[in-house]
Structure 1
Amino acid sequence: MSDPRLGDWLRDAPLATDTRVALVGFPSDEGVRRNGGRPGAAQAPAEIRAALARMTPDARRPAPFVGLLERTADVGDVEVTGDLEADQARLGERVGGLLARGVVPIVLGGGHETAYGHFLGYVRAGRPVRALNWDAHADVRPPADGRGHSGSPFRQLLDHDSGLCRGYTVAGLLPWRVAADHAAIAEASGGVVWADDLTAERADALVASLDGPTLASFDLDAVDAARGVSAPGVGGLSTAVWLRAAEVCGRSAHVQSVDVVELNPAHDTDGRTVVLAALTVWHVLRGLAARTPPA
């Protein structure tokens, strides 16, 4: 192919015995609604796939990227009914099955309620995991009336009666978007890196410090002035730092799964945030392509 696109590999790409990576969609924004955010994130998985399909393999080092694409599957979307807890359980079943096969799941959210369903995959697989969240918010609010939402996933991980969440770190917090008590919960659970301290070098060091299985979650509202998100803001991370974080997570053997969340195509007036979400996945893939494959 003289002008290959990722869609040439990812369309109709089923699981196989040698699959290393699998995309799975979670088209839910019920948690965003419960948290008072702007609905629309349910449209995100389809838009991310469409933008990703138009991208090319890494033009500077195409061979490793293509080699990974040849072992990447797309297992489609989890069925979403609006019953958030049941939907999250189904996502957990899908993620747990992929983990059991030694596959790295890349979950395309959805609101940040995606992260709790993502974690339930580790519960299903009986595996301890740490969570690393790239986000402007701590997302450790308590459930409302016993029901989780897009602002509660990491509180739910930490409080889960399985005890399988072994720690929580959040990088990219904005001091005007997080309560001091919520930042303190994250600090006590694993650590906080504030947005104005998060350079590319600090992102490298943070990922290099990982010492066990890790779930990485990328909330697009951490990026400065991203329009097409559930909770837009300003003063966040540069695109360069954000994409560097995605790539180093892809490179790290400790990172066993990834999600990309809070894209809201309904408010993405020029399509840039959709491209940013897809490019985040692209950089995770490029990082994965640089990993030493398992024997």
Structure 2
Amino acid sequence: MNLALFFDPLPETLTPVSPVPSTLAAYVSRFTETFPDWRGADLALIGLDEWRGSAAGSPASERPGTDLVRQRFYQLQKGTGIVRLVDLGNLRPGLSLEDTYQRLREIIGALLDAGTVPLLIGGSHDLDYGQFLAYESLDRPISFAVVDARPDMAEPNSTAPAEDSHLRRMLVHEPNFVFSIAHLAHQQYLTPPEILVALEKLHFETMSVGEIRADKRLAEPLIRQADFMSVDLAAIRWQDAPGYQPANPFGLSNEDATQLCWYAGHNAQLSSFGLYGYRADHDPQGLAAATLATMLWYFVEGFYHRRPETGFGTFRFLTYTVVLPGNPDKLVFYKSRRAEKWWMEVESLGDSENKRVIPCTYEDYLHASQGDLPQRWIRLQALLG
């Protein structure tokens, strides 16, 4: 597949002749005159300047916001180890918004087949629908995580813009290949209660911005089970990232956001990552661009710290069996010997052959030790059917 047909090359201002050797600029292969070898890369940066799904329309800025984020990102110091990162340039939007979704589907699908992780930056948050569509060809149920100030669950055929309905559109997509969803950082004063009730009835997990700020570690298992993750800049408070509208003084801090990105990068299962919603015309000092660049840096650094998390029941893990008085009569937990990570084995009560080992917390283990079934076990039991 010739991906170069879908992209515009980057301007010369983003390609310094002699970059500082210790910065990422010296290690990124960029699309200028020659399209980079994306098949041999670990990560591929894709800029998006598609805003037809947004009620506010395109930002009133001369340069795409993605280029401003790149400029900040390239100036950051390279982390540990080898970096194999390519920048494919900015995606050419399709004739319609639906065409753009399909382009993303094809491009991301090709990258997934090659084992290259797409890093998507810019455009309205509904573009993660194209990110989602790329996973249909995997022929298996997937899980994903969304970080946003509120779940975008408007009716897809209503007058609401696409950025307000993309999550519901994923849920009603046919064929249905969604196994679980984790929605992170919603703000309850922006979220209709019936939306949270609907997500709970579907046995999907949610975590409010207050819960994340109280203990970010509790978000890690939700991200660890995701195949892909999308982040709306509007989930971050305006003071830390003034690059979206309407402004919101509440939300995640930039430290919270970078920690979530580290978790995502460190997740060996996660195979694509999107940062959406950045409007350069609302960011005169480049503070939001710097925040996004740093979030991207933490994802890349987390990616290069990935370790295999397989072989449950082997010497790599400590095994804890908790005896319970009812049905089930026991729960099995695994803890990594190398890191403070826990997993729980969930076996379907209706089919003993149908079981999964899922990420969990130490608190889940403590609840089980006290004779209580963890809520995470109950939700998954319902999904396993």
Q: What TM-score comes out, normalization by structure 1 length?
A: 0.86
Residue of structure 2 equivalent to 1:162: 175
Contact in 2 for aligned 1:128/1:213 (Cα 8 Å):
no
| Counterpart Cα distance in 2 of 1:11 and 1:277 | 20
Q: Does 1:174 align with 2:192?
A: no
| Counterpart Cα distance in 1 of 2:274 and 2:78 | 20
| Counterpart Cα distance in 1 of 2:138 and 2:116 | 13
Q: CA deviation at 1:26?
A: 2.1
Contact in 1 for aligned 2:143/2:181 (Cα 8 Å):
yes
With over 3 angstroms needed to count, the CA separation of the structure-2 counterparts of 1:106 and 1:221, relative to structure 1, is same
Residue of structure 1 equivalent to 2:86: 73
Indicate the SS of the match to 1:259. Answer: strand
Q: Does 1:7 align with 2:56?
A: no
* Structure with a larger share of its residues in helix: 1
Question: Is the deviation greater in 209-218 or in 95-104?
Answer: 209-218
Residue of structure 2 equivalent to 1:269: 284
Residue of structure 1 equivalent to 2:44: 22
Cα deviations by residue, 1:90-110 (Å, 9 ceiling, x for unpaired): 011100111111111111121
With over 3 angstroms needed to count, the CA separation of the structure-2 counterparts of 1:170 and 1:209, relative to structure 1, is closer
Residue of structure 2 equivalent to 1:134: 147
AA aligned opposite 2:236 = V
Question: Is the deviation greater in 210-219 or in 237-246?
Answer: 210-219
Residue of structure 2 equivalent to 1:109: 122
Indicate the SS of the match to 2:292. Answer: helix
Q: CA deviation at 1:17?
A: 4.5
With over 3 angstroms needed to count, the CA separation of the structure-2 counterparts of 1:2 and 1:31, relative to structure 1, is closer
Cα deviations by residue, 1:29-60 (Å, 9 ceiling, x for unpaired): 1111xxx33632993322222221121113xx
Q: CA deviation at 1:269?
A: 2.1
Residue of 254, 259, 262 corresponding to 2:274: 259
Q: CA deviation at 1:209?
A: 4.7
Indicate the SS of the match to 1:27. Answer: coil
Question: Is the deviation greater in 155-164 or in 193-202?
Answer: 193-202
| Counterpart Cα distance in 2 of 1:40 and 1:2 | 31
Cα deviations by residue, 1:177-223 (Å, 9 ceiling, x for unpaired): 22222223333341111111113743x33332557552111111111
User: Please, which runs of 5 or more residues in structure 2 have no aligned partner?
Assistant: 1-18, 310-385
User: Please, which runs of 5 or more residues in structure 1 have no aligned partner?
Assistant: none
| Counterpart Cα distance in 2 of 1:211 and 1:4 | 30
Aligned CA-pair RMSD: 2.5
Indicate the SS of the match to 1:170. Answer: strand
Higher radius of gyration, 1 or 2: 2
Aligned length in residues:
282
Indicate the SS of the match to 1:22. Answer: strand
Residue of 61, 70, 73 corresponding to 1:52: 73
Residue of structure 1 equivalent to 2:251: 236
With over 3 angstroms needed to count, the CA separation of the structure-2 counterparts of 1:84 and 1:18, relative to structure 1, is same
Cα deviations by residue, 1:113-162 (Å, 9 ceiling, x for unpaired): 11101111112444532120111111122214488611111111111102
Question: Is the deviation greater in 263-272 or in 36-45?
Answer: 36-45
Residue of structure 2 equivalent to 1:39: 58
| Identical positions, percent | 22
AA aligned opposite 1:4 = S
Q: Which has the higher contact order (CA 8 A, sep 6+)?
A: 1
Indicate the SS of the match to 2:268. Answer: coil
Indicate the SS of the match to 2:257. Answer: helix
Q: What TM-score comes out, normalization by structure 2 length?
A: 0.67
Contact in 2 for aligned 1:208/1:252 (Cα 8 Å):
no
Residue of structure 2 equivalent to 1:121: 134
Residue of 102, 106, 113 corresponding to 1:89: 102
| Counterpart Cα distance in 2 of 1:187 and 1:43 | 38
Contact in 1 for aligned 2:24/2:78 (Cα 8 Å):
yes
| Counterpart Cα distance in 1 of 2:182 and 2:58 | 27
